[in-house]
């Protein structure tokens, strides 16, 4: 039988009459240190979020206990634990998370993402509504000029400023890589009704198969938004999934990071605040401090 815990949002309080907000759905697997770092960065930098859900699974009892400690720290987040057959329950649980609130917009994230600068979700939803753009990227900006694990330069595309520090561009004008990758799980804002058809009918059983198959049907005949400077990045220090062979630093194993957790440590996020990174993936070994 599937077991999952559903609770409610502990922070980012706002009026229930405010429709310009978005849900955040985070995917996590065997990464208690990373999910805590992401939640702490969201707590510091993101405002006007609606419900936060964490769809997660664990590989052993020690890691499960670590997640339980985080749940105690964030008891009103919606924690959705996958069961013994994660390839079967991933899609239905995800659809429940998407449909679980009246918010019309959603952002997806994975547990090795880190927010480094301020994001006002109400401002972003408003920009999407006024431009009718397909998505609002938080990992892109004029500072993003390098494609991860590639020698190809990323040239920021032609754009129109629609609000101070917010720009609109035609997706097909992106020259390469991340500028031409609108369907992703790394903190990009979407209107739910525009993405639901694939999420309901597409074939996928994990975050990586979801993104891979969704990216394969990307429509570049549309528009995207981005801030002048990117607001988040990914820190690929280890690989835990087995569906996709992604570039990864493999700085630490999941077991090594679990030992750090048992020692009462967490990632030190101070070095990443307002980081001027040139790539959406940052190759930097983190430091740790006491929780």
Which residue ranges make up each domain of the chain? 22-290
Q: For the domain covering 22-290, report its CATH number.
A: 3.90.550.10
188-191: strand order across its sheet: 78-81, 49-57, 22-29, 105-110, 188-191, 135-137, 223-227, 166-170, 160-163
pLDDT at residue 106, as a whole number: 98
pTM of the full predicted structure? 0.90
pLDDT at residue 240, as a whole number: 62
| Helices 32-45 and 61-73, packing angle to 10 deg | 20
How high is the mean pLDDT of the chain?
90
Q: Do residues 22 and 107 touch, judged by C-beta distance below 8 A?
A: yes
User: Averaged in consecutive runs of 10 residues, what is the pLDDT profile of the chain (291 residues)?
Assistant: 39 50 97 97 97 96 97 96 97 98 97 97 98 98 89 88 97 90 97 98 97 96 98 87 54 88 97 96 92 95
pLDDT at residue 241, as a whole number: 53
pLDDT at residue 284, as a whole number: 86
d(CA 208, CA 214): 10
Closest C-alpha among 233, 235, 187 to residue 211:
187
Q: How do residues 63-112 score in pLDDT, each as one tens digit?
A: 999 999 999 999 989 999 999 999 999 999 999 999 999 999 999 999 99
266-291 in b/e form (b: 16+ CB < 10 A) is bbebeebeebebebbbbeeebeeeee
d(CA 65, CA 169): 45
């Amino acid at each position: 039988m599937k077991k999952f815990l559903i609770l409610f949002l502990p922070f980012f309080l706002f009026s229930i009459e405010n429709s310009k907000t978005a849900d955040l759905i985070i995917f996590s697997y065997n990464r208690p240190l990373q999910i805590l770092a992401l939640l702490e960065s969201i707590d510091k930098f993101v405002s006007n979020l609606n419900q936060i859900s964490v769809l997660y699974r664990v590989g052993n009892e020690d890691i499960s206990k670590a997640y339980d400690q985080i749940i105690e720290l964030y008891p009103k987040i919606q924690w959705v634990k996958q069961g013994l057959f994660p390839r079967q329950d991933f899609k239905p649980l995800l659809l429940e998370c998407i449909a679980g609130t009246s918010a019309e917009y959603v952002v997806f994230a994975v547990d090795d993402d880190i927010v480094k600068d301020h994001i006002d979700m109400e401002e972003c939803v408003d920009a999407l509504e006024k431009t009718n753009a397909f998505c609002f990227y938080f990992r892109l900006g004029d500072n993003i000029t390098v494609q991860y694990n590639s020698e190809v330069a990323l040239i920021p595309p032609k754009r129109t400023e629609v609000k101070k520090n917010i720009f609109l561009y035609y997706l097909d004008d992106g020259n390469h890589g991340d500028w031409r990758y609108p369907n992703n799980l790394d903190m990009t804002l979407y209107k739910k009704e525009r993405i639901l058809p694939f999420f309901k009918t597409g074939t996928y059983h994990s975050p990586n198969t979801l993104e891979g198959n969704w990216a394969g049907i990307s429509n570049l005949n549309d528009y995207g938004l981005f801030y002048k400077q990117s607001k988040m990045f990914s820190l690929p220090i280890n690989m835990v999934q087995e569906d996709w062979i992604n570039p990864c630093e493999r700085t630490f194993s999941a077991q090594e990071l679990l030992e750090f957790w048992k020692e009462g440590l967490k990632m030190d996020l101070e070095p990443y605040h307002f980081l001027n990174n040139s790539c959406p993936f940052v190759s930097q070994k983190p430091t740790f401090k006491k929780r």
